[in-house]
Amino acid sequence: MISTRKNLDGFAVAIMVLLCLCWGLQQVAIKIAAPVLSSSMQLGLRSAIAALLVMAVILVRRIPFSLRDGSLLPGIAAGVLFAVEFVCISIGLNYTSASHMSVFLYTAPIFTVMGLHWLIPAERMQASQWLGIVSAFLGVAIAFSAAFQSDAHALGEMLIGDALGILGGILWAATTVVIRRSKLSEAQPTTTLLYQLAGAAVLLLLFSGVKGEFHLQAWDARIWINLFFQSVVIAFASYLTWFWLLRRYLASRLSVFSFLTPLFGVAAGVLFLHDPISPRFVIGATLVLAGIVLVNFRRN
């Protein structure tokens, strides 16, 4: 096991940019396939496929895994939070654009550091990070206000979708706090990821079944490619790569790159879905991203 973490080198920077690009594309991928495969079913299927792949890695590499090491209860909690986060995303994308969802979902680092600040003394925030919190929340308010430029029906729908995006960010942050405060913080990355994926798979597929979405329409090559991208590339490969980087490089340096993800998400939404972008949303998103950068920056 590597006991010390390194500063980022060129390889790590390149991998992080690629990861952020993939993560930024996932909301667009979900929205593109939604007319054929519902968002909740997509997320449930991708989680199930990725969970099976992670289990295969555990078995092939003989990675230690036990339900009696104190990680079961926090693992279930993390899995439920992870699943409900994706329920918010799947419903929210029916009401708002992929660009908006990308920005509001990635307010998660803001809520994460706030939760850790109060619960873990070693995670206390500096003055610059509190400035980032203020910047982010001001940005959310301004970006939220962009919906008021729409007609009454579109206004109501966009506000619902945007609010669900923020709720998803809060749930993502809660998942991180649970992991950080429990035995999962010392568990193998594959263990933590398996709990999250398994929880998401069970609850999201159950949610899809209750909604009566277990009917397959005509799938074409685009849907298969989309599902492969979401399950193998995003939910399996990218998350394991992220954990691999965290075991080798300084987390604070890696986290700074999180601000690239919503930028890629907004760009992808405009490019592939022709999402409209208002000046208010641009200003608000910029303040949110600036806040994320400040929150992730810590002076040594």
pLDDT at 270: 87
Position 5 in a domain: no
Tens digits of residue pLDDT in 218-260:
677 778 898 999 999 999 999 889 888 877 786 656 776 777 8
Q: Round the average pLDDT of the chain to a whole number and report it.
A: 84
What's the pLDDT at 60? Answer: 94
- What is the per-residue pLDDT for 44? 94
Cβ–Cβ < 8 Å for 20, 257: yes
With pLDDT > 90 as the criterion, what percentage of the chain qualifies? 33
For the segment 171-193, the average pLDDT, to the nearest whole number, is 86
pLDDT at 4: 65
In angstroms and rounded to an integer, the radius of gyration of the C-alpha atoms of the chain is: 19
* pLDDT given for residue 92 in this prediction: 94
**Is there a domain that residue 251 lies in?**
yes
What's the pLDDT tens digit per position in 194-213?
Answer: 999 999 999 999 999 888 87
Q: How many domains does the chain have?
A: 1
Phi, psi angle pair for 32, to nearest 5°: -65, -40
| Type of residue at 80 | V
User: Helix axis angle, 108-119 relative to 127-145, nearest 10°?
Assistant: 140
Domain membership of residue 173 (yes or no) is: yes
Residue 236 lies in a domain: yes
| pLDDT for residue 122 | 65
Would you place residue 300 in the very low, low, confident or very high pLDDT band (cuts 50, 70, 90)? very low
Range of the domain at 125: 10-296
As a whole number of angstroms, the distance between CA 153 and CA 147 comes to 10
- Tell whether the model's pLDDT for residue 83 goes beyond 90: yes
Confidence of residue 151 (pLDDT cuts 50, 70, 90): low
Q: Which pLDDT does position 1 carry in this prediction?
A: 43
| 184 occurs within a structural domain | yes
For residue 16, pLDDT over 80 is answered with yes
Asked if residue 299 has pLDDT above 60, the reply is: no
The more confident residue out of 108 and 90 is: 90
Tell whether 2 is covered by a domain: no
Report the alpha-carbon distance of residue 262 to residue 109 in Å, rounded. Answer: 12
Model confidence band, residue 166 (pLDDT cutoffs 50, 70, 90): very high
Residue 225 lies inside a defined structural domain of this protein? yes
- 289 pLDDT higher than 70: yes
Q: Are 79 and 158 in contact (CB under 8 A)?
A: no
Residue 200 lies in a domain: yes
Lowest mean pLDDT among 86-90, 143-147, 168-172: 143-147
